[in-house]
Amino acid sequence: MNRWWQEKAVYQIYPRSFQDSNNDGIGDIPGIISRLDEIKALGVGIIWLSPVYKSPNADNGYDISDYRDINPMFGTIADMEQLFSEAEKRDIKIIMDLVINHTSDEHEWFKRSRDKDSPYRDYYIWREPDQSGGEPNNWTSFFGGKTWTFDPKSGEYYLHLFNEKQPDLNYHNPNVIAEIKDIMRFWLDKGAAGFRCDVINVIFKSSLEDGVHRLAVCGREHFVTQEGTHTILQELRREVLDNYDCFTVGEAALVNLRDAKLLTDPARRELDMVFYFDHLNVDRRIEKFIPKKFKANKLLKVLTKWQQGLYWNAVYLENHDQPRIVSHWGDDGDKYRERSAKLFAAMLLTLKGTPFIYQGQEIGMTNFDFEGMAQINDIETIGVDKLLRSFKIPARLRWNWLKASSRDNARTPMQWNAHPGAGFTQGQSWLDINSNHIEINHAEQERREDSVLNFYKKMIALRGSSETLKYGDFAPVWANEQVMVYSRTITGAEQLAVILNISGKPAATQIENNLIGPIIVSNIGRGEYDGTLSAWEAVVLKIW
Ligand code: ISL
Ligand code: CA
């Protein structure tokens, strides 16, 4: 039975960079409320709101110090309640970001857990130093550094898979699981329509043994998608989520297809969807930092594996942790920026699964031309820079890799108009605003029929009206290093072919005799398909 969250497209908001309403240079909840009509006009039905909870902002809100209160820089609980009600008036649902692998070290629980005799001690993962006084094991952080920090107060180390200000919760402790259930109910009762679950597949650590030696995230075999995580997810679903009309999408760092199938199999009642990373990493080594050549046929192979492997996909090309897709895989120069941005819109909205659009993606926002690490805010970029430095990677090469992959590329403020402050703020923005907001902004594109924004609106509407694009079977058709072709089919009803030239050079599909039919989408206004493709051209044909 099809669910409402399969029908709709989702729009991700990174609150600190979306819309500032009080000119302190930081986006906020009243700002989001003021932009709900633009979000509605895009045609999405769901908002994923990145964290707005109380936080010291060590990781821009992914380090929570109070799950039931709002960071004053974003507003108040009353603002959040108003956002829920204003969104509902526009038939927009909101899912919250559930960050439960860790809390902030400024959370009350952690402060108390530093006392060995506290009942909160076992809310976290504390261990004695090893014989030489060192860290309890050899694990390394997602942020490139260590995963243990010594606490002189209690003379022990505590575990943090991310930053030392993000201590991991202990999911062997049933009291922790009970606390999480209460937090979920709190937000579901306020009107949340579900959760995006942050690094949800690493919450249960099966052991604290040393991991096999690796360059990054050593120890992963002890915490990535362990059996204990499945058990906890089934319990949260059974005891909380199944009492609400809601859905969950789990961010599953380092997940493989076998485990993702277990996490999202409807019969197992764990998560509804997961974000995997394999597709975005086809042109990268060691997760997202070291580039290699992009090949369309490699992308089609990886997408096929996941599109056909999972019951239902979460489809995304950008988020607050990824560089802008038009800079990552497209061409962000003047000539082809819009055309390549539209090509990725065609890809996103014709793949099978719930499409997730990240703020700014709908207007083709680009990476930022950072000049050096001094301009970087992101603790992941800073941590990976240290790690690459320890591998003696030359500064120039290190910087080129980090400039292209830094999460700050996605976190520069939303470009609403061409005025100073880009319509985001009248104050001093927390992170530099891209100077190309003069040319690339929402207001100008609203007025222009052939803009990226209007192409996204058309594609979202097309998907919403097409059973084939929503539920049709995905199949690979043909690919080479430039071009990929896939089909979407409802047997006995309709077959569509999606043809994408993901390159700056003209191409041909060499199978044009199989690709015959009226064009239903073209990003360059083509009349009919003859087997040739210009640079960055996207075509969708109705085969039957
Ligand atoms: O994309 C990534 C994997 O290569 C990393 O940038 C990312 O940190 C990782 O996937 C986990 O991300 C989530 O948890 C982090 C937080 O910094 C990210 O913003 C969040 O999306 C810790 O909470
Ligand atoms: Ca503000």
In contact, 327 and 294? CB cutoff 8 Å = no
pTM over 0.95: yes
State which of 63, 99, 321 you would mutate to test the pocket of ligand 1, scoring each by most atoms of that ligand within 8 A of its C-beta.
321
Angstrom CA distances, 478 to 180, 353, 468, 507, 515, stand at: 46, 21, 19, 13, 11
What integer pLDDT is reported at residue 510 of this predicted model? 79
Residue 2's pLDDT is 85
pLDDT tens digits, one per residue of 510-526: 777 789 999 999 999 99
**Contact, 544 vs 489, CB < 8 A?**
no
**Catalytic annotation present for 378:** no
Three-state DSSP at 53 gives strand
* pLDDT score of 513: 77
Answer whether 162 contacts ligand 1 (Cβ < 6 A): yes
For the chain, what is the mean pLDDT?
97
Render pLDDT for 438-457 as a digit per residue (tens, 0 to 9). 999 999 999 999 999 999 99
Residues with pLDDT less than 70, the chain:
none
Atom number, ligand 1, closest to the C-alpha of residue 62: 23
User: What pLDDT is recorded for position 287?
Assistant: 78
pLDDT tens figures, 73-132: 999 999 999 999 999 999 999 999 999 999 999 999 999 999 999 999 999 999 999 999
DSSP annotation string for 179-235: HHHHHHHHHHHHT--EEEETTGGGS--S--PPPPP-SSSTTGGGTTT-HHHHHHHHH
> Given 20, 97, 156, 198, which residue is catalytic?
198
CA of 23 from ligand 1 middle (Å) equals 28
Whole-number pLDDT of residue 122 = 98
The pLDDT score that the predictor gives to residue 512 is 73
- Compute the distance between CA of residue 539 and CA of residue 466 in angstroms, rounded to an integer: 16
Does residue 303 contact residue 279 with C-beta atoms inside 8 Å?
Answer: yes
